[in-house]
C-alpha cells in the first residue's frame, strides 16, 4: 500500500525534480544558462526521445545558435541535417505514392509525421518519423494495396497468422516495404483497431479531411481538430513510450495553432468521435508537463461533461513517469512499473481478453520457437 501511495503521489516525483529537458521545454531554464555538463545531459535526454532536431529549431527561433557552444552545436546541426535529408527522401516517396494512387480514385491522405511534413505544420521542423502512415476507406483498401504492390511495396510479413491478425482485428493491413528503396507504408482504414471499445467511425475523419493547395494539391490531411484527436489517441492508447515526450511536443505545436474558440470545439469534436478520454489526457499532460497555456477552459468543459476519470491521480502517477525521456537520469524507482502497467493497459484497451490472451500466448510461443517474423 505504501508503494501504491508513492506511485500515485506524482507531486513528490515532479515539480521540484523535472528532468533537465523538461525544464528547457517548459522555458524554466534558458539555453544561455546551460553549462557544458548540462548541455551533455540535455542532448542525451533529447536523443532518447528524438527531440534533438526540435531543439535546433527552437534555438534558431530564439536566435541563439551563434552563442551555442561548439560541441553541442555540432550535435544539433547533425540532427538538423538528418531531419532535412529525411524530409527530402519523404517528399520523393510522396511523389511515388501519388503515382500509385493516381488510378485508384482515392485521395492520398497522410497521417501524423507525414501529414506534419507535407502540410508544413508546426511539429514538422526537426522531426524524425520512420513509416508513412496513410488512411483510406475500408471498402477500397484492397484496391489500394494492389496498386501499391504493383509499384513495389510488398508485405513485411507473409506469415498466415500475422496476416489474419492484421486483416481481421486491426485498423491497418500488414506494413508494406518498398522492395528497392526500403520505405515503409502503413495503410490504415481507421485510427484504432476494430476490436477496441472506442473504435471510431472513420467516415467522420475522412469526410472532414482537408485537401492541400499549391505544390501538393490533391493530397489530403486530417482537419486541424481531427489531427489533434488522432495524435492524442495514438499517444494515450500506445503501450511504448520511448518517443512519448516527442509526441506530446507534437501536440503542443498542433494546439498552439488553435484559437480559444477552436479549443472548445475540440472538446465537442472529441465527444462526437467518441475519443474524449485521450483528448483530456492530452490537455492535462500538456498543462502539467510542458506548461502549455490556454487549456483551462477546454479542460473545465471536459470536467463539466464528466470526461475526467475518477482514477485520474493513478493515471498521473503512470503518465507523469512514462512521458519523461527514456533516460536513466529521468527515472525513479517506479518508472519501469509505470511503463509496464501502461503497456498492459494498451493491450486491454485495444482487444478484449477472449482475443488478447490467445493472441499473446501464440505470439510468445512463436517468439520462443523462433517462428516470429517481426
pLDDT of 239 higher than 60: yes
pLDDT of 157 higher than 80: no
Quote the CA–CA distance of 17 and 19 in Å, as a whole number. 6
Q: What is the mean pLDDT of residues 228-254?
A: 96
pLDDT (0 to 100) of residue 15? 47
CA angle, corner 280, sides to 220 and 353, nearest 5?
90
C-alpha cell at 53: 532536431
In the block, which residue shows the cell 478484449? 352
pLDDT (0 to 100) of residue 373? 55
Domains defined for the chain, CATH in brackets:
2-368 (3.30.460.40)
The torsion angles phi and psi of 64, rounded to 5 degrees, stand at: -115, 5
Could you report the per-residue pLDDT of 26-71, keeping only the tens digit for each? 999 999 999 999 999 999 999 999 999 999 999 999 999 999 999 9
pLDDT range class, residue 161, cuts 50, 70, 90: confident
Quote the CA–CA distance of 148 and 176 in Å, as a whole number. 8
DSSP letters for 106-153: ---EE-HHHHHHHTT-GGGTT---SSEEEE--GGGHHHHHHHHHHTTE
Residues in Cβ contact with 329 at an 8 Å cutoff, skipping those fewer than 6 apart:
19, 20, 41, 44, 45
pLDDT (0 to 100) of residue 207? 98
pLDDT of 12 higher than 50: no
Q: Is 177 helix (H, G, I), strand (E, B) or coil?
A: strand
Where would I find the beta strands (DSSP E) of the chain? Answer: 109-110, 132-135, 153-155, 176-178, 184-188, 210-211, 220-221
pLDDT range class, residue 7, cuts 50, 70, 90: low
Return the H-helix or E-strand segment holding 232: helix 224-236
Quote the CA–CA distance of 91 and 312 in Å, as a whole number. 41
For residues 127 and 117, the answer to whether their CB atoms sit within 8 Å is yes
Could you report the per-residue pLDDT of 247-293, keeping only the tens digit for each? 999 999 999 999 999 999 999 999 999 999 999 999 999 999 999 99
Which residue did the predictor score with more confidence, 373 or 256? 256
Amino acid at each position: 500500500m505504501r508503494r501504491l501511495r508513492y506511485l500515485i503521489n506524482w507531486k513528490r516525483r515532479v515539480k521540484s525534480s523535472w528532468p533537465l529537458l523538461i525544464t528547457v521545454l517548459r522555458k524554466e531554464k534558458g539555453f544561455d544558462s546551460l553549462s557544458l555538463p548540462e548541455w551533455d545531459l540535455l542532448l542525451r535526454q533529447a536523443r532518447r526521445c528524438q527531440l534533438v532536431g526540435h531543439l535546433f529549431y527552437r534555438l534558431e527561433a530564439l536566435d541563439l545558435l551563434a552563442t551555442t557552444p561548439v560541441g553541442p552545436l555540432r550535435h544539433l546541426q547533425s540532427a538538423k541535417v538528418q531531419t532535412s535529408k529525411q524530409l527530402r527522401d519523404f517528399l520523393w516517396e510522396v511523389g511515388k505514392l501519388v503515382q500509385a494512387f493516381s488510378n485508384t480514385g482515392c485521395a492520398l491522405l497522410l497521417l501524423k509525421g507525414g501529414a506534419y511534413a507535407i502540410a508544413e505544420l508546426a511539429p514538422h521542423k526537426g522531426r524524425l518519423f520512420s513509416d508513412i502512415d496513410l488512411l483510406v476507406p475500408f471498402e477500397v483498401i484492397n484496391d489500394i494495396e494492389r496498386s501499391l504492390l504493383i509499384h513495389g511495396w510488398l508485405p513485411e510479413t507473409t506469415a498466415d497468422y500475422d496476416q489474419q491478425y492484421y486483416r481481421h482485428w486491426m485498423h491497418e493491413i500488414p506494413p508494406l516495404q518498398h522492395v528497392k528503396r526500403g520505405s515503409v507504408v502503413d495503410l490504415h482504414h481507421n485510427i484504432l483497431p476494430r476490436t477496441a471499445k472506442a473504435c471510431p467511425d472513420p467516415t467522420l475523419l475522412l469526410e472532414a479531411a482537408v485537401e492541400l493547395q499549391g505544390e501538393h494539391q490533391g493530397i489530403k490531411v486530417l482537419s486541424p481538430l481531427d489531427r489533434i484527436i488522432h495524435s492524442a489517441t495514438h499517444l494515450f492508447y500506445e503501450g511504448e513510450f520511448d518517443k512519448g515526450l516527442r509526441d506530446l511536443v507534437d501536440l503542443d505545436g498542433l494546439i498552439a495553432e488553435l484559437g480559444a474558440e477552436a479549443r472548445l470545439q475540440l472538446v465537442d469534436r472529441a465527444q462526437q468521435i467518441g475519443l474524449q478520454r485521450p483528448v483530456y489526457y492530452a490537455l492535462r499532460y500538456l498543462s502539467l508537463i510542458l506548461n502549455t497555456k490556454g487549456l483551462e477552459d477546454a479542460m473545465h468543459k471536459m470536467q463539466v461533461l464528466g470526461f475526467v476519470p475518477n482514477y485520474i491521480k493513478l493515471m498521473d502517477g503512470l503518465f507523469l513517469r512514462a512521458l519523461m525521456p527514456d533516460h536513466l537520469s529521468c527515472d525513479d524507482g517506479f518508472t519501469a512499473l509505470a511503463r509496464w502497467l501502461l503497456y498492459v493497459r494498451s493491450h486491454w484497451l485495444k482487444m478484449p481478453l477472449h482475443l488478447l490472451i490467445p493472441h499473446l500466448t501464440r505470439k510468445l510461443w512463436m517468439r520462443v520457437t523462433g517462428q516470429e517474423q517481426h
